[in-house]
């Protein structure tokens, strides 16, 4: 069911605006309280291109927090969220990563898109 559409990267390689690879595909675009976010599967993340910001260590393994914050190792400094708990304002999935399409190369949300089943 196509409820969304997008332009740019078709999901083979997801890069920051500076061209740093952060994932090898995306699942869908989710609209939450703060706008659109690209959902990335955990097993497709390029972890070596991310870092844990100083002061965020307490979030690792703490199931009381909603997400763990990571940042890209490039000038974009894209903020990625690893979802740990559900929220009531968006359909974020536990175990997936989320990033703003504004931080991604050749990626623009022009409507609402859900990719076809693979």
Identify the pLDDT of residue 63: 84
Contact (CB, 8 A) for 16 and 72: yes
Identify the pLDDT of residue 2: 37
Element (DSSP H or E) covering residue 81: strand 79-83
DSSP 8-state code for residue 16: B
Q: Tell me the three state secondary structure of residue 39.
A: strand
pLDDT digits (tens, 9 = 90+) for 85-102: 999 888 999 999 999 999
pTM of the model: 0.86
Identify the pLDDT of residue 111: 66
DSSP 8-state code for residue 45: B
Closest among 102, 99, 110 to 7, alpha carbons compared: 110
Closest among 10, 21, 75 to 44, alpha carbons compared: 21
pLDDT digits (tens, 9 = 90+) for 16-55: 999 999 999 999 888 877 888 999 999 999 999 999 999 9
Domain residue ranges of the chain, discontinuous segments joined by +: 6-109
In the predicted structure, residue 1 carries a pLDDT above the cut 50 = no
Contact (CB, 8 A) for 9 and 115: no
Query: How large is the average pLDDT for residues 62-66?
Result: 92
């Amino acid at each position: 069911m196509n409820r969304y559409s997008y332009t740019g990267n078709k999901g083979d390689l997801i890069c920051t605006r500076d061209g740093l690879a952060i994932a090898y595909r995306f699942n869908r675009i989710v609209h939450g309280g703060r706008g659109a976010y690209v959902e990335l599967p955990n097993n497709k993340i390029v972890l070596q291109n991310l870092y844990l910001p100083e002061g965020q260590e307490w979030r690792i393994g703490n199931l009381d927090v909603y997400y763990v914050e990571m940042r890209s190792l490039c000038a974009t400094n894209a903020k990625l969220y690893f979802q740990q708990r559900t929220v009531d304002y968006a359909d974020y999935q536990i175990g997936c990563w989320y990033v703003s399409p504004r931080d991604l190369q050749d990626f623009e949300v022009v409507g609402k898109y859900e990719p076809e089943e693979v």
